[in-house]
Amino acid sequence: MEMYTPEALITEEEISLRIEALGKAITKDFENEDLIVICVLKGAFIFCSDLIKKINRPVSLEFISLSSYGDSTNSSGNVRLEMDITANIEGKNVLIVEDIVDTGLTIKTLMDMMHVRKPKTVKLASLLFKPVKLKHKVNIDYLGFEIEDKFVIGYGLDYAGRYRELPYIGMLNAGN
């Protein structure tokens, strides 16, 4: 069996503590309000499932899938909707849940898409933010961790479809 242990950048415990704090902040901000949570597939699926357990408000859960095209390292600046949510968000509070904001293109495109549907509010929770790559103005309302320009995997994030199942955020080094 192949063995691999990518180096940890953010541990399971650190993630858990941060998510608890984010959940508390979201619960406070949405006092007496319902919330539609939109999980951006695939990367956000673990963060989203842990986060909603810490939000003490009525939540309905939606999934959306977007993909950007380009070469392997650079976005083409073109994001396509692969799978849409099923709920009508007009007049509703929406919380978009992302795993990482990198160039900001995906979330900018998604925010623009959602605003056209006239929700009452739209907020963003992102586990990670890599400011060095940012090309589009993005406001992250609930941020887990700001990170340096490293290729991160685990806790939902992949490299070529692998490592999503790691319980922590790791870094890939040569040899992994």
Residues with a catalytic annotation lie at 102
99 binds ligand PRP (CB under 6 A): yes
Q: What is the largest CA-CA distance in the chain?
A: 52
Element (DSSP H or E) covering residue 152: strand 152-153
64 binds ligand PRP (CB under 6 A): no
101 binds ligand PRP (CB under 6 A): yes
First to last CA, the chain: 14
**Do the beta carbons of residue 92 and residue 81 sit within 8 Å?**
no
102 binds ligand PRP (CB under 6 A): yes
CB of 106 to ligand PRP, least distance (A): 3
Dihedral sign, Cα of residue 26, residue 27, residue 31, residue 35:
positive
CB of 148 to ligand PRP, least distance (A): 16
100 binds ligand PRP (CB under 6 A): yes
CB of 164 to ligand PRP, least distance (A): 8
Task: Kindly list the distances between the CA atom of residue 176 and the CA atoms of 8, 11, 147, 157, 170, in Å, as whole numbers in the listed order.
Answer: 13, 18, 20, 15, 11
Alpha carbon distance 69, 51 (integer Å) = 29
Our CB check for ligand PRP shows the closer of 58 and 161 to be: 161
6 binds ligand PRP (CB under 6 A): no
Task: Candidates 10, 40, 85, 94: give the one binding ligand PRP (CB under 6 A).
Answer: 40
144 binds ligand PRP (CB under 6 A): no
Amino acid at 76: S
Our CB check for ligand PRP shows the closer of 44 and 52 to be: 44
User: Quick count: other Cβ atoms within 10 Å of Cβ 169?
Assistant: 27
105 binds ligand PRP (CB under 6 A): yes
Tell me which residues touch ligand PRP (CB under 6 A).
40-43, 67-68, 75, 98-106, 158
